Structure 1
Amino acid sequence: MNSPTAQPAESYNPYEPPKADASAALRPEERSRLRLASSDRRLVNLVVDYMGLMLFTFLVGVIFGLLGGADVFEKANDTLLGLVMMFAYYASMEAIFGATPGKLVTGTRVVMEDGSRAGLGRIALRTLCRFIPFEAFTFLTRRGGAPVGLHDRLSKTRVILVRGSDDAR
Structure 2
Amino acid sequence: MNDENPYRASGATLEHALPRLDIDSASKVRRFFNWLIDRVAVYLAFAAVGIVAALTGNLAVLDWMQNIDRITDIVVTSSILVAYYTLMEGAFGFTLGKLVTNTRVVDEYGQPPAFRKAFYRSLCRLIPFNAFSLLMSDDETRRGWHDSIPKTYVVMRPRRGAPVGKPRHNVSHQFGASAIGPAPVPAPAVEP
Match of 2:19 among 6, 14, 27: 27
Q: Distance in 1 between matches of 2:107 and 2:38?
A: 21
Paired with 1:67 and 1:89, the residues of 2 have a C-alpha distance of: 27
Describe the SS at the equivalent of 1:155.
Answer: coil
Q: 1:128 aligns with which of 123, 128, 131?
A: 123
Given the superposition, is the C-alpha separation of residues 125 and 154 from structure 1 closer, same or farther in structure 2, using an over 3 Å criterion? same
What is the TM-score with the length of structure 1 in the denominator?
Answer: 0.69
Pairing 1:117–2:112 present: yes
Contact 2:24 2:141 in 1 (8 A): no
What pairs with 1:28-43 in structure 2 (closer than 5 Å)? Answer: 28=20, 31-32=21-22, 34-43=23-32
Alignment of 1:5-154 (within 5 A): 26-28=18-20, 31-32=21-22, 34-62=23-51, 66=56, 68=58, 70=61, 73=65, 77-143=72-138, 145-154=140-149
**In structure 1, distance between residues paired with 2:51 and 2:80:** 14
| Structure 2 unaligned spans of 5+ | 1-15, 160-192
Report the count of equivalent residues: 138
Which has the larger Rg?
A: 2
* Residue aligned with 1:142, SS: coil
Q: CA RMSD for the aligned pairs?
A: 2.5
Could you report, residue by residue, the CA deviation over 1:109-160 in whole angstroms, capped at 9, with x for unpaired residues? 1111111221111111111111111111111333561310001111111111
Q: TM-score, normalised by structure 2?
A: 0.62
**Structure 1 regions of 5+ residues with no counterpart?**
1-23, 165-169
- 1:19-68 per-position Cα deviation (integer Å, ceiling 9, x unaligned): xxxxx76534xx22x33111111011111111111112223444566495
When residues 64 and 80 of structure 1 are mapped into structure 2, their CA distance, relative to the original with a 3 A threshold, is farther
Q: Which amino acid aligns with 1:47?
A: L
